[in-house]
Amino acid sequence: MTLIPIEQNLFVVDLHYVVPFDEIEPELESHVEFLEENYASGCFIASGPKVPRTGGVIIATAKTRQALEQILAADPFNSKKLARYTVTEFRPSMKAAQLSA
Protein backbone atom coordinates (compact mmCIF):
# COMPACT_ATOMS: atom_id res chain seq x y z
CA MET A 1 0.00 0.00 0.00
CA THR A 2 1.31 3.44 -0.89
CA LEU A 3 1.13 6.28 1.58
CA ILE A 4 -0.30 8.53 -1.11
CA PRO A 5 -2.48 6.61 -3.58
CA ILE A 6 -1.75 7.37 -7.24
CA GLU A 7 -4.06 10.00 -8.69
CA GLN A 8 -5.49 10.89 -5.29
CA ASN A 9 -5.38 14.48 -4.13
CA LEU A 10 -3.82 15.66 -0.90
CA PHE A 11 -5.22 18.18 1.54
CA VAL A 12 -3.65 20.68 3.90
CA VAL A 13 -6.02 21.23 6.81
CA ASP A 14 -5.25 24.41 8.74
CA LEU A 15 -6.88 24.57 12.18
CA HIS A 16 -7.06 27.95 13.88
CA TYR A 17 -8.21 28.04 17.51
CA VAL A 18 -11.14 30.41 17.99
CA VAL A 19 -11.23 30.07 21.78
CA PRO A 20 -8.52 30.52 24.43
CA PHE A 21 -6.14 27.57 24.83
CA ASP A 22 -7.53 26.79 28.30
CA GLU A 23 -10.75 25.75 26.49
CA ILE A 24 -8.74 23.63 24.03
CA GLU A 25 -6.79 21.67 26.67
CA PRO A 26 -9.72 19.62 28.03
CA GLU A 27 -10.41 18.32 24.49
CA LEU A 28 -6.81 17.44 23.58
CA GLU A 29 -7.11 13.76 24.54
CA SER A 30 -10.25 13.23 22.45
CA HIS A 31 -8.67 15.17 19.56
CA VAL A 32 -5.61 12.88 19.70
CA GLU A 33 -7.92 9.82 19.64
CA PHE A 34 -9.58 11.29 16.54
CA LEU A 35 -6.16 11.75 14.92
CA GLU A 36 -5.06 8.20 15.80
CA GLU A 37 -8.22 6.72 14.25
CA ASN A 38 -7.56 8.57 11.02
CA TYR A 39 -3.88 7.62 10.92
CA ALA A 40 -4.98 3.99 11.32
CA SER A 41 -7.41 4.35 8.40
CA GLY A 42 -4.68 5.81 6.18
CA CYS A 43 -6.37 9.18 5.80
CA PHE A 44 -3.88 11.27 7.80
CA ILE A 45 -0.22 11.49 6.80
CA ALA A 46 1.16 14.09 9.23
CA SER A 47 -0.14 16.50 11.85
CA GLY A 48 0.98 18.75 14.65
CA PRO A 49 0.55 22.04 16.45
CA LYS A 50 1.49 25.34 14.86
CA VAL A 51 4.39 27.35 16.26
CA PRO A 52 3.31 29.51 18.01
CA ARG A 53 0.41 27.34 19.21
CA THR A 54 -2.53 29.09 17.57
CA GLY A 55 -3.91 25.89 16.06
CA GLY A 56 -2.60 22.95 14.10
CA VAL A 57 -2.03 21.45 10.67
CA ILE A 58 -3.09 18.08 9.24
CA ILE A 59 -1.83 16.64 5.95
CA ALA A 60 -4.47 14.23 4.68
CA THR A 61 -5.48 12.15 1.71
CA ALA A 62 -9.04 11.29 0.78
CA LYS A 63 -11.00 10.26 -2.30
CA THR A 64 -12.85 13.59 -2.31
CA ARG A 65 -12.91 16.86 -0.41
CA GLN A 66 -16.45 16.02 0.71
CA ALA A 67 -15.22 12.71 2.19
CA LEU A 68 -12.50 14.56 4.12
CA GLU A 69 -14.95 17.18 5.36
CA GLN A 70 -17.17 14.40 6.74
CA ILE A 71 -14.17 12.99 8.59
CA LEU A 72 -13.21 16.41 9.96
CA ALA A 73 -16.75 16.94 11.25
CA ALA A 74 -16.03 14.23 13.84
CA ASP A 75 -13.04 16.09 15.30
CA PRO A 76 -14.04 17.37 18.76
CA PHE A 77 -12.29 20.66 17.99
CA ASN A 78 -14.68 21.01 15.05
CA SER A 79 -17.88 19.62 16.56
CA LYS A 80 -17.45 21.79 19.67
CA LYS A 81 -16.58 24.84 17.54
CA LEU A 82 -13.19 25.33 19.18
CA ALA A 83 -11.33 25.78 15.89
CA ARG A 84 -11.91 27.12 12.39
CA TYR A 85 -10.84 24.83 9.55
CA THR A 86 -9.42 25.85 6.19
CA VAL A 87 -8.94 23.01 3.71
CA THR A 88 -6.62 23.39 0.73
CA GLU A 89 -6.77 20.61 -1.85
CA PHE A 90 -3.88 19.97 -4.22
CA ARG A 91 -2.78 17.36 -6.72
CA PRO A 92 0.83 16.38 -6.01
CA SER A 93 2.82 16.51 -9.23
CA MET A 94 6.03 15.54 -7.42
CA LYS A 95 6.59 13.67 -4.17
CA ALA A 96 9.39 12.00 -2.23
CA ALA A 97 9.99 8.38 -3.21
CA GLN A 98 9.28 7.14 0.32
CA LEU A 99 5.73 8.56 0.08
CA SER A 100 4.96 6.38 -2.95
CA ALA A 101 6.82 3.19 -2.07
Q: What is the pTM of this model?
A: 0.91
Q: Write down the mean pLDDT value for the chain.
A: 91
What's the Rg (C-alpha) of the chain?
A: 14
Domains of the chain: 24-85 (3.30.70.1060)
Which whole-number Å values give the CA distances from 51 to 37, 48, 57, 83, 85, in the listed order?
24, 9, 10, 16, 17
The pLDDT confidence band at residue 43, using thresholds 50, 70 and 90, is very high
4 in Cβ contact with 45 (< 8 Å): yes
Q: pLDDT at position 14, please? A: 98
Q: pLDDT at position 95, please? A: 76
pLDDT at 101 over 60: no
- Listed residue (19, 43, 15) closest to 31, CA to CA: 15
Q: pLDDT by residue (tens digit) across 51-66? A: 999 999 999 999 899 9
